[in-house]
A and B are shown apart, each in its own frame.
Chain A
Amino acid sequence: MLPIVEAQRLDPDAPPALNAEVATAWLVAFLRDELIDRRGIQRAVVGLSGGVDSAVTASLCARALGPENVHAIRMPYATSHPSSLTDAQRVVDALQINCRTIEITAAVDGYLAFEPDADSRRRGNVMARTRMLILFDQSAKLDALPIGTGNKTERLLGYFTWHADDAPPLNPLGDLFKTQVWALAAYLGVPDALIRKAPSADLEANQTDEGDLGITYARADAILAQMLLGYSDDQLIERGFARTEVTLVRRRVEGTHWKRHLPTTAMLTNTAINEFYLRPVDF
């Protein structure tokens, strides 16, 4: 009898791999280059939600700039879960970074008083944009730069508020899937409570990301990782993914391309900006 050497089949439940040590070194270099070398800015402002994305972002910023140069801003609304504040505090304590809490309830409600019929989606967007307004203003005050916290999964699924969560000029996590952010969090020593809790935008009571999306992050990431390589839905299903989940992910990605771009500008000349007149962001 000859021994059999079998090729491994794709495990549809395996999340995308991450070499956390290598990723950390790369992202720390990115933050130092973009902030200090290119812009001459020494400080970062991070909106600390109590979730894992902002915790990882703050941790990377602390490594890149020193904890004394990282300013975390907690921005609770009246309905925010109390654990969001306490979990954010765990991160502040662990990293020894600066922290300030700025309630957004008065600002949000001040506007929504004129719009009493606004549904939860609109209310959530107002909260997200209010938070971004504060982060940019705090950055101006502190001679700092706001650092984004969005991950690749939510960017691909369009699960964010346009010109809010995606607004900061630098984003270290935007090319990492959510499951990779979890792996990075474990490597960086982010408190366990934040890694284990169900991710939530915390814009409504009892809201969870996976409940909103209708799929777990683990499965969404596994599908997205293959989908972005060009595999068709039929190929993905043949590889072991459920048709309902493949369809769900495909629909979300294809319905949100616009959210990953700047506003559409009518082109009238052959010097249209970013169409004919092409200059890189760092020129």
Chain B
Amino acid sequence: MLLADSLNRGTFRQRIAILQTKPQKGRYRENLEALVDAFGQLAEMKPHLVVLPEAALTGYFLEGAVYELALFASRFAGDLAQAWRSACGDQPVAIVSGFFENDKGTYYNSAVHVDVFANHEVIEHVHRKMFLPTYGVFDEERFLSRGRRLEVFESVLGPAAMLICEDVWHSIMPTIAAVKGARVLIVPSAAPGRGVDGEGTELTSIARWHDILRTIAAEHGVFIIYAGLTGFEGGKGMSGSSCIVDPRGEIVVSAPANEACIVRAEIDLGEIDLARANLPLLGDLAAVLPDLLLDETLPLPRGVGHRHVADR
């Protein structure tokens, strides 16, 4: 049995759809209705996982209106599930979507992973964005609280982590997720595009995003499913460019920047093991990371009663 397994790893093919949404600002109900139509386009495909961007059904720049539009995770997951059933009936699916979360009066920029069944839905995980950009055009921490934990959870694709937009720009985040066992990173995002001084065929900010995602995927041997919001919000164009990156760092499929669209792909999760076998950086990291993190000169708190190293 062991021999057979090692000789024939088999394939673990999964059908993925990304809905690159272009919501009407603040019109949650109308955007939910539009989502039913989009889900309807997926009925034939029978996806295992559907991923939507950050702030997928409200728009991203809400300022004070975020408090009017934030929802309990259970309510939002229920709305997603109901929209799916309206379009696709009893077909089961897992959906990941970004939303603004109201948790009994504390507000977060969150993403939910919900398993949808014929008569009920199960929230597998809610990730609360940890890095809230609050500089330049961004003002998230003025309105929202930051998440405090990065969890790896059992997604429909196996062990996975959700990272929201700037979360993924801090290389420690995908690193921690991968070391904790994530084999897939799901990244809902709302990235205002900028940079017209580059030489490629896209904004420099989009090229930078792709560079980051490819580097992460190749370093840790993970699939990355990136869902980017699109559409202009008060002159700031969300840069779409949703994509799937394989564990070798190659882009499997990539959407245009400025169009609402559906991105579809079938991925083979077996590629993760192959990529890790050929480039065992994650194993190396797992071996060395304790030495790095236990280095007492690192400015990290060392538990209750321990002074911050930097305060010594």
Contact = CB atoms under 8 A, between A and B. Distances in A.
A283 B26 contact: yes
B246 to A, nearest CB: 26
A23 B196 contact: yes
Given A17-B197, A25-B258, A37 B231 contact: yes
A8 to B, nearest CB: 15
A281 B59 CA distance: 12
Kindly name the residue among A19, A37, A278, A283 whose own CB sees the greatest number of chain B CB atoms within 10 A.
Answer: A283
Interface in A14-35: 16-19, 21-23, 25-26, 29-30, 33-34
Interface string A171-201: 0000010001000000000000000000000
A256 B75 CA distance: 48
Contact of A26 (B25, B65, B197, B237): B237
Contacts of A16: 197
Contact of B203 (A26, A30, A33, A38): A26
A79 B51 CA distance: 61
A26 B64 contact: no
B221 interface: no
B interface, how many residues as a size bin?
Answer: 20 to 34
Interface in B76-108: none
A200 B231 CA distance: 35
Contacts, number: 67
A212 interface: no
A283 B22 CA distance: 14
A280 interface: yes
Contacts of A37: 22, 231
B58 to A, nearest CB: 10
B233 interface: yes
Task: Identify whether the interface residues of B are mostly helix, strand, loop, or mixed.
Answer: loop
Contacts of B197: 16-19
B232 A29 contact: yes
A278 B61 CA distance: 11
Kindly name the residue among A23, A30, A278 whose own CB sees the greatest number of chain B CB atoms within 10 A.
Answer: A278
B61 A22 contact: no
B303 interface: no
A114 interface: no
Contacts of B193: 26
B68 to A, nearest CB: 10
Contacts of B63: 278-280, 283
A38 B26 CA distance: 12
A280 B232 contact: no
B230 to A, nearest CB: 9
Interface string A44-61: 000000000000000000
Contacts of B25: 38, 280, 282-283
A169 to B, nearest CB: 10
Interface string B268-310: 0000000000000000000000000000000000000000000
B140 to A, nearest CB: 13
A19 B22 CA distance: 25
Closest 6 interchain pairs by CB? A29-B258, A278-B63, A278-B64, A33-B232, A17-B197, A23-B196
